[in-house]
Structure 1
Amino acid sequence: MNEHLEALDPAPLWRHFRALCNTPRPSGEEAALVAMLEAWADAQGLAHDRDAFGNLRIKKPASPGSEKAPGVILQGHLDMVAQANAGTEHDFSRDPIRTYVEDGWLHADGTTLGADNGLGVAAALAVLEDKTLTHGPLEALFTLEEETSMGGALNLAAGWLEGERLINLDSEERGEVYIGCAGGSDVVVDAQLPTSEVSDDERGLRVALTGLKGGHSGMDIHQPLGNANRLLIRVLRALEPLGARLGDYAGGTLRNAIPREAFATLLLPADTVEAAVVTVNQLEQTLKRELGSTDSGLQLSAEPAHFEGEALNRDASAMLVATLHAAPCGVERMSADVPGVVDTSNNLGVLSLEAGRFHLCALVRSLHDSAVEAMVDRFQALFGLMGARAKAEHGYPGWVPNPKGELLAAFKAQHQALLGRDAGVKVIHAGLECGIIGSKYPHLDMISFGPSIRGAHSPDERVELASVTEFWHMLSALLAATAR
Structure 2
Amino acid sequence: MSITALEPNSIWQHFEAINAIPRASNKEEQIIEFMVAFGKSLGLQTSVDTVGNVIIKKPATKSREHHKSVVLQGHLDMVHQKEADSNFDFDTQGIQMYVDGDWVKAKGTTLGADNGIGVATIMAILSSKDIAHPPIEALFTIDEEKGMTGAMALTEDQLRGNILLNLDSEEDDEITIGCAGGVDVEIKGKYNIKILDAKEYELYEITVNGLTGGHSGVDIHLNRANAIQVLTECLQELISTLDCRIHSIQVGTLTNVIPRNGSAIIAIREDKTALFPEELESIQSKLQKKYKDTDPELNIASEISENAMGVLDIQTQKNLISALMKMPNGVHAMTKEIPGLVQTSNNIAIANIAESAFFMACHTRSSVDAERDELTDQVKKYFSFATVTEVGPYPGWAPRPDSELLSLAKACYKKLNGEFPAIKSIHAGLECGILSGTFPHMQMISFGPNILGAHSPEERVQISSVQKFWKLLIEILHSIE
TM-score (norm 1): 0.97
Q: Tell me if the contact between 1:55 and 1:143 (Cα under 8 Å) persists in the aligned partners.
A: yes
Provide the residue aligned with 1:275 in structure 2. 275
Structure 2 equivalent of residue 202 of structure 1: 201
Q: What's the CA shift string for 1:244-288, capped at 9, x where partnerless?
A: 121000011211111010100111222222223212111111111
Structure 1: any 5+ residue segments left out of the alignment?
Answer: none
On the 8 A contact 2:48/2:54 being kept in 1, the answer is yes
Displacement of 1:455: 0.6
Q: What is the aligned partner in structure 1 of residue 424 from structure 2?
A: 426
2:404 aligns with 406
Amino acid at match of 1:6: T
Partner of 1:250: 250
Q: Over residues 75-121 of structure 1, what are the superposed CA-to-partner deviations in whole Å (9 max), with x where a residue is unaligned?
A: 00001111111221211121010001112111000011000000000
SS in 2 for 1:34: helix
CA contact (8 A) 2:223 2:330 kept: no
Q: Secondary structure at the match of 2:392?
A: strand
Give the C-alpha shift of residue 432 in structure 1: 0.4
Q: Is the 8 A contact 2:344 2:365 kept in 1?
A: yes
Residue 49 of structure 2, aligned match among 48, 51, 71: 51
CA distance in 1, matches of 2:368, 2:358: 30
CA positional deviation for 1:404 = 0.6
Post-superposition offset of 1:330: 0.8
Residue number in structure 2 paired with 1:306: 306
Counterpart contact for 2:451–2:459, Cα < 8 Å: yes
2:208 partner letter? L
Shift of the alpha carbon at 1:406?
A: 1.1
8 Å CA contact 1:186–1:395 kept in 2: the answer is yes
Question: How far 1:32 sits from its partner (Å)?
Answer: 1.6
Q: Secondary structure in 2 aligned to 1:219?
A: coil
| 8 A Cα contact 1:248 1:354, kept in partner | yes
Which residue of 2 is the match for residue 105 of structure 1? 103
Residue of structure 2 equivalent to 1:297: 297
Is contact 2:210-2:260 (8 Å) kept? yes
Task: Return the alpha-carbon distance in structure 2 between the equivalents of residues 360 and 148 of structure 1.
Answer: 15
Indicate if the aligned counterparts of 2:105 and 2:460 stay in contact, CA closer than 8 A: yes
Amino acid of the structure 2 residue aligned with 1:212:
L
Instruction: Check the 8 A contact 1:75/1:140 in 2, yes or no.
Output: yes
Distance 2:444 2:130 in 1: 25
Separation in structure 2 between the aligned mates of residue 258 and residue 274 of structure 1, nearest angstrom: 34
Is 2:89 aligned against 1:88?
no
Superposition pairs for residues 63-462 of structure 1, below 5 Å? 63-199=61-197, 200-241=199-240, 242-384=242-384, 387-462=385-460
Q: Secondary structure at the match of 2:293?
A: helix
**Matched residue SS, 2:221:** coil
Q: Which amino acid aligns with 2:302?
A: A
Partners of 1:303 and 1:270 in 2: CA distance: 15
State the distance in 2 between where 1:8 and 1:63 align.
Answer: 26
Distance in 2 (CA, whole Å) between partners of 1:369 and 1:10 is 42
Q: CA–CA distance in 2 between the matches of 1:137 and 1:30? A: 27
Give CA-to-partner distance per residue, 1:124-175, whole Å, 9 cap, x none. Answer: 0111111211211110000001111111111123321100110000010111
SS at match of 2:383: helix
Aligned-partner SS, 1:336: coil
SS at match of 2:282: helix
Q: Provide closer, same or farther for how the CA distance between residues 296 and 466 of structure 1 changes in structure 2, counting only shifts above 3 A.
A: same
**Distance of 2:306 and 2:40 partners within structure 1:** 58
| Greater Cα offset, 73-82 or 275-284 | 275-284
Query: For each residue in 1:32-78, what CA deviation from the matched residue of structure 2 results, as whole angstroms up to 9, or x when unmatched?
Result: 22222222212211111122212110001112111111111000000
Q: Cα deviation per residue 1:334-366 (whole Å; 9 max; x = unaligned)? A: 111111011111111110111221110111111
Query: Is this contact kept in 2: 1:369–1:398, CA < 8 A?
Result: no
SS of residue paired to 1:294: coil
1:358-414: per-residue Cα shift (whole Å, max 9, x none)? 110111111122322222121111111xx1121100110000000011111111001
Query: Contact 2:179 / 2:430 at 8 angstroms: preserved in 1?
Result: yes
Corresponding letter in the other structure for 2:352:
S
Q: Deviations over 1:154-205 (max 9, x none)?
A: 1123321100110000010111000000100000011002331112312212
Q: Contact 1:61 / 1:136 at 8 angstroms: preserved in 2?
A: yes
Preserved contact between residue 183 and residue 431 of structure 1 (Cα < 8 Å): yes
Decide whether the 8 Å contact of 1:56 with 1:143 is kept in 2.
yes
1:329 and 1:474 map into 2 onto residues whose CA distance is 37
Structure 2 unaligned spans of 5+:
none
1:409 counterpart SS class: helix
Q: What is the percent sequence identity of the aligned residues?
A: 39
SS at structure 2 position matched to 1:311: strand
Q: Determine helix, strand or coil for the equivalent of 1:147.
A: coil
How far apart are the structure 2 equivalents of 1:303 and 1:37? 46
Shift of 1:309: 4.7
In the TM superposition, what is the alpha-carbon distance from 1:28 to its structure 2 partner? 1.6
SS of equivalent residue, structure 1 residue 174: coil
